[in-house]
Structure 1
């Protein structure tokens, strides 16, 4: 078979936050022509300084593009950058594909996909997992669903961004449903890890030894191993914010209520994230749930001056 000599697609990345910036950088490193757009002019300037192109609006970014990768926070932002004033729909060429990576209710995904496809474009439902570091390394996990044509059009961009690409069906919304199962587990595991490490603090245990023992034992989880170091270092700079799980576990609750399916563990975890956000830590790292447990119980965590002295 002769080598593929077709030109690489032009890509617009809308949303240059911690995930989107890394994704845009990964695309650029693979030789794709990438334009970045964000509400933060500083984020756009940073991408341009690293060799990319910048745009002030989604419409400007999408002009003449083959692929638009949307990496915004939620459904409302996705709809705005697609169909709002100066949105992608104002300039995107016919036949181009929108790769939407926001975590959303599958019903909303299906509605947005129908609008895109009615306009003569393709839509790939492609929520992501892996965190900012893996995004920057081009090693995300992408949970995608959509038509064969959408996958084919987006393939060069997907290959540049993902270490694992799961093709989960031919209808938008299926990828979103898979992502919500992941988010249910992730949220419950973060809450459980936070509960455990704060309980260990209440017992007066050496928290670094707790971490060493648990990560070598059956009680370990990916979230315990990943998030508890933030607690040990007293560093709650957001890598994944509390508010993300307020949103995502809220979607899980809505989906479960609609399906008349009980999700008591997810419901309890959501209350802990809500309590943490309500205490002013919504934009802090989601390991901040441990701080709420500690403050309620009178335990002290490293670097958190708001927690009173442990009574142990």
Structure 2
């Protein structure tokens, strides 16, 4: 029951806490001093590099990667002091970031050349759901690989969703999900910006939406915080900006161009360019209220 983590931010840190509480031995590598202190407080040990983090793993143990993008994944695996330099055949990498399917496949293939398993396992649900075990873990890998790491996957989430045995399908599923999340969030922010322009009380309007056909989980979660003025970042604007951009690119790669995805991606990009990159994505409400044109 040993696992290494590279990345202990909002989601990774919640998972570290969950596993430590369940009795796992967890080694954490994260460059942020705050995240290091939080990992220590949870009961994890600290590693200076990805390579030293995996040095503590047993023959069938795993490294969980919870960073932002594919470039970071490649660097922490194969860069100087990269984890892949210390991983051994029979061990596994659980790949949790939202990245392009082709990047997931390429990383898995490179690991396979070293005899290392890769589980394509993006996650969704936010830090609190991750901490409680209620997040969605979208798993794509050969059945034998999943079986070898079943104990870890079940410890990470009560909602392990088997997508397929084809690595890359987890990433594809996550992009489809996050495209809809982005569309729903932009739609919720637009609707409340309109309500404000009409002179309606935003909290009352959201009460109605939550009990009516316009309800969405992400809309309610983010707009409640936006109405309260709470923009402390749980999920930065840049995350759904990246995810919707990747989803639109993936759609175009298979010859599909829907009517809403590119528009939603454009709103996140515009909010970023307006200086909101490091704010919680609940900031879309204030962005649209400020930038929606008047006749």
* Contact 2:182 2:264 (8 Å CA) reproduced: yes
Which TM-score applies when normalising by structure 1?
0.90
1:162: which partner in 2?
Answer: 157
Q: Deviations over 1:141-175 (max 9, x none)?
A: 10000122321222111111102111111121011
* Contact 1:139 1:161 (8 Å CA) reproduced: no
Q: 1:43, CA displacement in angstroms?
A: 1.3
* Contact 2:8 2:29 (8 Å CA) reproduced: yes
1:267: which partner in 2?
Answer: 262
2:205: which partner in 1?
Answer: 210
Q: Aligned pair 1:45/2:59, yes or no?
A: no
1:238: which partner in 2?
Answer: 233
Q: 1:298, CA displacement in angstroms?
A: 7.5
Which aligned runs of 4 or more in structure 1 are off by greater than 3 angstroms?
none
Counterpart mapping for 1:193-204 below 5 A: 193-204=188-199
* Partners of 2:16 and 2:206 in 1: CA distance: 35
* Partners of 1:87 and 1:56 in 2: CA distance: 11
2:118: which partner in 1?
Answer: 123
* Partners of 1:291 and 1:197 in 2: CA distance: 10
* Contact 1:67 1:153 (8 Å CA) reproduced: no
Q: Which entry has the higher C-alpha Rg, 1 or 2?
A: 1
Deviates more, 1:207-216 or 1:288-297: 288-297
* Partners of 1:297 and 1:92 in 2: CA distance: 52
Q: Aligned pair 1:150/2:145, yes or no?
A: yes
* Partners of 1:231 and 1:263 in 2: CA distance: 28
**Gaps spanning 5+ residues in structure 2: where?**
none
Q: Deviations over 1:178-203 (max 9, x none)?
A: 11110110000000000001110111
* Partners of 1:277 and 1:144 in 2: CA distance: 31
1:251: which partner in 2?
Answer: 246
Q: Aligned pair 1:91/2:91, yes or no?
A: no
Q: 1:231, CA displacement in angstroms?
A: 1.4
Q: 1:262, CA displacement in angstroms?
A: 0.9
**Gaps spanning 5+ residues in structure 1: where?**
1-7, 300-310
Match of 2:130 among 122, 130, 135: 135
CA RMSD, aligned part only? 1.5
* Contact 2:16 2:42 (8 Å CA) reproduced: no
Aligned length: 292
Q: 1:263, CA displacement in angstroms?
A: 2.3
